[in-house]
Amino acid sequence: MAPATARPLPRFLALGDSYTIGEGVAESGCWPVQLAALLADAGQPIAEPRIIATTGWTTDELDAGIDAAQPVGPFELVSLLIGVNNQYRGRPLDGYRGQFYALLERAIGLAGGEAARVMVLAIPDWGVTPFAVAQGRDPQLIATELDAFNAAAREICTARGSHFVDTAPTSRSRGAEPAMLADDGLHPSAALYALWAHQALPFARAILAGTTP
C-alpha cells in the first residue's frame, strides 16, 4: 500500500501597505506572521504567509502591486488592510470607497470566489502617534477621516459577506504608548501587531474551519 500523501497546508495571502509588511519591525513581528504562529499554536497550522505590501501604498498602488506579483489562488485565507495613505495624501472618501470595493473583489477572487474567506483589518489611527504630533497634524481631523474610511470598508465587507476585524479602537487607545511604537514614532511595534493578530485569530480560525466567528 502506498503511503498517504501529506495534505498541503492552507495558504494565507496578506494584502496591504506598511501596516501589513511591518515597517520598522523584524519579519517575525508583522501581524500576518504573528497570526500564522498563533494558528499553529492553536492546532491550525498554515503555510508561510504570502505578503504583497509596500510602505506608502495607496489603494491603486496595491492594485498595481497585485498585478506585478501575480499571486495564484485559491488561497484559503486572504486579508486586506489598505487606505491610510489615501487619507494621508488627502484623497477623497468616495475614491477610496470605489477602489476598496475593487480590491475586495480581487481578494475574493484570490480566495477562490469565497467572500467568507476574506478578512479586512481596520486602518489604525496614526493621529495619536508622536509622528503626527511632530508634524502638527490635527488629531481630531485624522480620527474623523479614518473613521469614515473604516465605516465604508465595514459596510462594503458586510454587503459582500467578508469579515471586518475592527482593530481601530485598540490602535487608538494604545497606539501612543512607547512600547507600541516602532523607532520612527509612527508605525506599530511588534507588541501592537501582536494585539491585532490576537483580534484577527478567531476570524482566521473560523475561516479555516468553515464556521462563523
Q: What are phi and psi for residue 211, nearest 5 degrees?
A: -120, 180
pLDDT band for position 11 (cuts 50, 70, 90): very high
Q: What is the pLDDT of residue 210?
A: 87
Q: What is the pLDDT of residue 5?
A: 59
Q: Across residues 67-92, what is the average pLDDT? A: 97
First-residue to last-residue Cα distance in the chain: 40
Q: Which amino acid is it at 41?
A: D
pLDDT band for position 211 (cuts 50, 70, 90): confident
pLDDT band for position 170 (cuts 50, 70, 90): very high
Q: Across residues 203-207, what is the average pLDDT? A: 97
pLDDT band for position 7 (cuts 50, 70, 90): confident
Distance, in Å, from the CA atom of 44 to the CA atom of 23, rounded to the nearest integer, reads 27
Topology given in CATH for the domain delimited by 12-209: Rossmann fold (3.40.50)
How much is the mean pLDDT over the chain?
95
pTM: 0.94
> Sign of torsion, CA 32 25 65 152?
positive
Distance, in Å, from the CA atom of 102 to the CA atom of 63, rounded to the nearest integer, reads 9
Q: Which bin fits 157, alpha (ψ -120 to 50), beta or left (φ > 0)?
A: alpha
The tens digit of pLDDT for each residue in 104-163 reads 999 999 999 999 999 999 999 999 999 999 999 999 999 999 999 999 999 999 999 999
Distance, in Å, from the CA atom of 39 to the CA atom of 197, rounded to the nearest integer, reads 10
